[in-house]
Structure 1
Amino acid sequence: MIDPVIIVPYLLACLLFAVIPGPSVSVVIANSLAGGTKAGLFTILGTALSMISMVFVVAIGLEAVMTFVSGAFEIIKLIGAAYLIWIGWKMFRSSGRLDMAAGDRLPIGRYIWQGALTNWSNPKTLLFLSAFLPQFIDLSRPAFGQIMTLGIICLVVAACSDSVYALAAGQARHLLTAARVRMVNRVSGVILMIGGVWLALQKRA
């Protein structure tokens, strides 16, 4: 059970963490513009799945696991950075045609994978959670359940915040002409490529 006294400050801290745009938000917006609100929401599902796995790593607190993840950061980061640059380049070169027309099959797995990989590509997320969550636990009680509960709350807040971006971008796509879609795709593509370069240059704290 979480101490009710910490809930309000914890929610405010989670909201502050969630509203700061990062590479994941860029992918959510890009996919929502290209494939509609559902595409953005499936991307958010991917980021949520990756985040809960990060919370689990923090909750079990095994030194061996943390050491392995820490050692794998560089590889994970570079793979994710290359992926962001690749999808950014594809978006930059797109013709301006919206990816999803009425009746088309939504590539659910692709969006979930993009969201998960992008989130895991940013080592700062796991490092933030490992430093952030323990500050709100009661050391007199088992930590695992508390950290998982706090992590799920943080995940829900982040998912709700990201959903606002997805809904806004999904609605905006209906107002776009082909020329405007091309412009938005190029801007989004540049943002994603910059995000990929930014990830690649990040140093582990």
Structure 2
Amino acid sequence: MSLELWLMFCAAYLLTTLAPGPNVLLVLKNSLQYGWKSAMVTILGNLSCQLIVVGLVAVGVGELISRLPAWFMVMKLLGGGYLIYLGVKSLLSGAKRTPTQLSVSGTPVRPRHLFLQAFMVSASNPKTLIFLSAFLPQFLDITHPHLEQFSAMYLSICAIVTSVHLGYALMVSRLGQSALFSGLEAKMAKITGGLFITMGGGVLLSSRS
């Protein structure tokens, strides 16, 4: 991959990462509820799923899934259903919090739970695999080995996602600690809950095209 292609890829992927999606919402919610350091485990879960997705793209599975409506439907139902489940859970947790609880941040939580949750959210939309199957090959240089280029793109994805998501985590964590934003955790739980449900519905209603 030439330097020009790599820079174009990084710029394009940065734009998609900056846009708020399920993974960003999860980072924001967890950072407020468990402290900004929880974002590292959340990011690791996301990137672990992305590693599998990029690997599947490299061997052409994304294109295959786009041609198999039954598999796409199963992935869509599971992914959309999981996002809706997270949304309902987040709404209920926000409604149950008391004013005393709202001032407490850094609540203990199992890292394994955060990792699996982030992994599942990242895997929830089957269109991600189809999108990356169309997106990543545009930046391949046919004169160089594809494995090396997919590896370079994945490492770039890791750097971009980690930087952006940690930035979001630090920002929202500091806002949550400010007296001006008391009660932000409960409000964020309700907002992210509603958005997760909306995104889950979008996944369920999505088509392969």
Give the TM-score normalised by the residue count of structure 1.
0.85
The 8 Å contact of residues 33 and 173 in structure 1, kept in 2 or not, is answered as yes
Check 1:142–1:59 CA distance in 2 against 1; reply closer, same or farther (3 A cut): same
Please say if 1:73 is aligned against 2:72: yes
Which residue, out of 186, 192, 201, partners 2:205? 201
Q: Which runs of 5+ in 1 are unaligned?
A: none
Please say if 1:125 is aligned against 2:106: no
The within-5 A match list for 1:43-54 is: 43-54=42-53
In 2: Cα distance, 1:56 partner to 1:100 partner = 40
Shift of the alpha carbon at 1:139? 1.0
Which residue, out of 118, 135, 138, partners 2:138? 135
Amino acid in the other structure paired with 1:198: G
Partner of 1:112: 115
Structure 1 ranges of 4+ moved more than 6 A: none
Please say if 1:154 is aligned against 2:160: no
Partner of 2:191: 187
Q: CA RMSD in A?
A: 2.6
Check 1:34–1:108 CA distance in 2 against 1; reply closer, same or farther (3 A cut): same
SS of equivalent residue, structure 1 residue 88: helix
Shift of the alpha carbon at 1:170? 2.2
In 2: Cα distance, 1:99 partner to 1:147 partner = 44
The 8 Å contact of residues 35 and 98 in structure 1, kept in 2 or not, is answered as no
1:83-129, CA deviations, whole angstroms, 9 ceiling, x for partnerless residues?
22222212212222359756x54311111111111111112221221
In 1: Cα distance, 2:19 partner to 2:3 partner = 26
Which residue, out of 160, 172, 175, partners 1:172? 175
The 8 Å contact of residues 82 and 124 in structure 2, kept in 1 or not, is answered as no
In 1: Cα distance, 2:112 partner to 2:142 partner = 40
Q: Which runs of 5+ in 2 are unaligned?
A: none
Q: Percent identity?
A: 29
